[in-house]
Amino acid sequence: METAEAIEARVRAFLTELEIPYETIACRPDQADTAVFCEVFGIAPEASVNTIIVASKKEPKQYAACLALAHTRLDVNRVVRKEMGVRKCSFASFEETEAVTGMLSGGVTPFDLPEAIPILIDARIVGDHLMWLGGGSRSLKIGVRADDLARLPNARVIEGLAG
């Protein structure tokens, strides 16, 4: 696994290459979890997006990066499963998440994911509002406009992904 600094540099380079404007907040690893981050930095849960890796149950393994607002829950058993085209899926373990993304659990971001991982975005994440996501490590948060997330390669906006 790369160092946190190397992962963060990759994420920044990815955003720069796609010409997506962004802001950053450096945080301590113990401030990376969504609820703590929002409280410490005064960010509303409605402006915080979790990137959750979901895995198929059967081989060959398939993965999806699901983006949901911090105050919502993914509909894994219905909507995510259908979008992935699999019979059963569940949240990937921390170890599996780190292995397939090359990022640290608790800081996974849709920026610079492997091309084989589709990005599924809940339809409520829209507009020109600044949204905060992981920066690839547990020491960085990235703020981008919600509409810029739909510009990511391999991204699809899905109605009802989270509720």
CB 46: neighbour CB atoms within 10 A?
15
Is pLDDT at 1 greater than 90 in this prediction?
A: no
Structural domains in the chain, sorted by start: 4-158 (3.90.960.10)
Mean pLDDT computed over 54-78: 96
The tens digit of pLDDT for each residue in 75-113 reads 999 999 999 999 999 999 999 999 999 999 999 999 999
- Residue 151 sits at the vertex; the CA angle it makes with 98 and 110, to the nearest 5 degrees, is 10
**Coil, strand, or helix at residue 91?**
strand
The tens digit of pLDDT for each residue in 17-61 reads 999 999 999 999 999 999 999 999 999 999 999 999 999 999 999
Contact partners, residue 158, CB within 8 Å, separation at least 6: 79, 83, 120, 121, 122, 123
CA separation for the pair 119, 157 (Å, rounded): 8
